[in-house]
Amino acid sequence: MTTNSSDLMPGLISHDEALKLSVEQKLAYFRAVRLLHPRINEVLHDLETMALPGSGTDIALLIGPTGVGKSTVVDGLRKRVITNHLQAIEEDPSFIPVVVMEAPSSGERMFSWRMFYLRLGEALQEPLMGRKQETTLSDGRTTVRNVASGNTVTAMRVAIENVLKFRRTALVVVDEAVHLLRNLHGNSLANYMDALKSLSNICGVTLTLVGSYDLYQLMELSGQVARRSAVVHFRRYLTGVEADEQAFRITLEKLQRCIPLENQPDLMPYADDLQAGSVGCIGILKDILARALAHALQNKGVWSESLLEKAMLSQSQMESILEETVTGERLIQKATFGSGTFKSMGLAAKEVECRIGATT
């Protein structure tokens, strides 16, 4: 039986095989669970639509609360794009239709574009990204400056533009994009967005920025940015909404079947409490169940309600996440992809015109 951590995936090994794994491997097995529940499928469909050539979207913002499952969406999007282009990839191995990277948090006071381009180049399999040189021509004289010496990131940017075109990449996904916003305000933030927008325009790629509700401030920079951007809201499952409660229960039941214990627990009696305690976010739910599983494995594989309660978020943690989530939901409720109608847009336009007219 395989024991490599990369192979500890539900579907690659059976539940009976999972029961024979070590404690650490059982936890890795459960962590590897990826469920494409209804909300994820909705989000994936919207993102795939925006990534189509000529869709009119340069930058898509995938926004949602912590623990809602944004990383699962990113992984699912990457797999779908690759699957859709398998034949073209086989015919041309240099073709990379999609790249996924994480916006770097270098520890510096400001966002590091040097590290950003380095990570993106590595994802695109571009060699020697740290040794690119900028060549300039002035008064008939050619000057070469090594980017690695700290002079400029221009050469790295040009290299990225060239490799994106060569690889024919159509979609660049930047996870943890909130790092772009660190210590930025006003013109600096607008300049960052302009740099991303120009990269999209020059290379013909769609950029998908993934993060929390903080990302929404990018949409408020200018009308030009808003015109070519779109927000996809990855919503949580709401309590009190019958369809959401049913979808949450179905997902909980699927997760329950993936718990590698001889006697799997029946979690359905706790569904309402788990939905409230996880703020309706499947990622948080998985964290809770993983902690409960760890306690059970340390308890000779015996599951109990007390272990589940011990694994729940504290009240202060839950309240903090819920407050941040509700505030974010209110912030972007009128800005998400597909939220507009002809009637609502007409009324909004009239309200803005009246408001501007009253102040002039």
Dihedral pair phi/psi, residue 359, rounded to 5° = -100, 0
pLDDT band at 3 (very low <50, low <70, confident <90, very high): very low
pLDDT digits (tens, 9 = 90+) for 293-339: 999 999 999 999 999 999 999 999 999 999 999 999 998 887 666 55
- Per-residue b or e along 100-139, where b marks 16 or more CB atoms closer than 10 Å to that residue's CB: bbbbbeeeeeebbebbbbbbbbebbebeebeebbbeeeee
Cα–Cα distance between 50 and 132 in angstroms, integer? 32
Average of per-residue pLDDT across 76-84: 93
Checking if the pLDDT of 250 tops 90, the result is yes
Write down the pLDDT at residue 205.
Answer: 93
The rounded Cα 171 to chain-centroid distance in angstroms is 13
State the pTM of this model.
0.81
**Lowest-pLDDT choice from 42-46, 56-60, 104-108, 283-287:** 104-108
Write down the pLDDT at residue 257.
Answer: 93
**Lowest-pLDDT choice from 51-55, 95-99, 138-142, 195-199:** 138-142
Write down the pLDDT at residue 151.
Answer: 44
Cβ atoms 64, 214 nearer than 8 A: no
Q: For residue 167, what are the contacts with CB-CB under 8 A and spacing of at least 6?
A: 94, 95, 96, 124, 125
pLDDT digits (tens, 9 = 90+) for 111-160: 888 889 999 999 999 887 765 555 555 666 656 555 444 446 788 888 89
pLDDT digits (tens, 9 = 90+) for 164-216: 999 999 999 999 988 887 666 656 777 888 888 889 999 999 999 999 998 88
Q: Half-sphere exposure of 244 toward its Cβ, with a 13 Å CA cutoff?
A: 14
Write down the pLDDT at residue 148.
Answer: 46
The rounded Cα 132 to chain-centroid distance in angstroms is 29
pLDDT band at 1 (very low <50, low <70, confident <90, very high): very low
